[in-house]
Amino acid sequence: MARTTCPSTQQYVRAQQGQGSGTQASREWRYEVLLEGPRNSNGSRPFAQRIGQFGEFDDEDLYASYNIAGYEWNLHPATVTLAAGHGSQLNDDFLALAELQYAPTDHITTRLGVEINTTDTPLRALKDGVNADRYRAELAYRHDERGAGAIGVMATDFDDSNLRQSIYGYWNQTLYHLDRWQVNAEVQASASRNDEVDASYFNPRRDASLAGVLTVNYETPIDYRQSFIQSVSLGSGRYWQEDFDSENTWSIGYQHRWELTPTVNFEYGITRERAVYDGVPEYDNVISAGFVWRFL
């Protein structure tokens, strides 16, 4: 369960369809609505979140949704987040989240997280009555405003005796920024190991991936503190899965972002991707949209 933070009260809406990652499968819709309250004098605040998923597999519609409420305590240089909620439809069960974030310097941040009944459980697993808990540790490094990245490990414990162990890393870098133009690059790598269980969800014995994405942004001023940003992205990578040949992956995307006021912006885009599952290439269209409204 991911959260976006900002210093003021914020309503955040995001929807996405297409290929997922990790425990997610392809051809799924996912939306998130996040409402964060104002920070108190100590910098702490409450929040509420709604997450929904939809997928179609073997001509059957699958649904799951989650309602979550929590609180974020600012204990500088540490931040503690606790949340609880309940799922519905395929995941009609209690869920909880705990996260500790510690930033000893302006450049280094560590995170430890636990998700009981994680909202990232695949729909096909939920259909089979399988839930999952997730445990995560991450070390993030911010060099400056142009470059930042992280490395992390995750363990996802499924009810069907499958323990998915994952490691990942990424780096984001601004390569060029002058006037209206900005060029960003991202490199990401991941690998996972899973137990051999009879599962309907995607569950490779071992796999690994390496990919890079180059994004070119062009900003058009509209009015005072208003702008329209167009982005074109090109990605290429390599995916390996045990018992199958390595395959190339790629992506090409186009996105619009509207900065209407300092407190309101929205974005939408589409990406065409080539992914590989069990040695079979899949070509997916990923549609994404986001809306942020901050209440100052």
Q: Is 268 strand, coil or helix?
A: strand
Of 234, 185, 231, 241, whose CA–CA distance to 209 is shortest? 241
Answer whether residue 19 shows pLDDT above 50. no
Answer whether residue 18 shows pLDDT above 90. no
Of 128, 184, 194, whose CA–CA distance to 164 is shortest? 194
Cα–Cα distances (Å) from 91 to 49, 110, 124, 159, 290, in that order, read 16, 30, 11, 13, 25
d(CA 121, CA 141): 28
Q: Give the domain 11-295 fold.
A: Porin (2.40.160)
Q: Kindly state the helix (H) or strand (E) to which residue 124 belongs, with its residue range.
A: helix 123-127
At which residue do the structure tokens 């796999």 appear?
Answer: 207
pLDDT tens, position by position, 73-106: 999 999 999 999 999 999 999 999 999 999 999 9
Cα–Cα distances (Å) from 231 to 121, 256, 271, 283, in that order, read 31, 6, 11, 21
Strand spans (E) along 105-225: 108-116, 132-144, 147-158, 163-178, 181-193, 206-223
Of 228, 231, 230, whose CA–CA distance to 215 is shortest? 231
Answer whether residue 111 shows pLDDT above 80. yes
Within a 10 A sphere around the Cβ of 180, how many other Cβ atoms? Answer: 12
Residues 192-220, mean pLDDT to the nearest whole number: 95
Answer whether residue 21 shows pLDDT above 60. no
Q: What mean pLDDT is reported for the chain?
A: 90
- Two tokens at 168? 């990942």
Lowest mean pLDDT among 30-34, 98-102, 122-126, 164-168: 30-34
pLDDT tens, position by position, 164-205: 999 999 999 999 999 999 999 999 999 999 999 999 899 999
Q: Is 42 strand, coil or helix?
A: coil
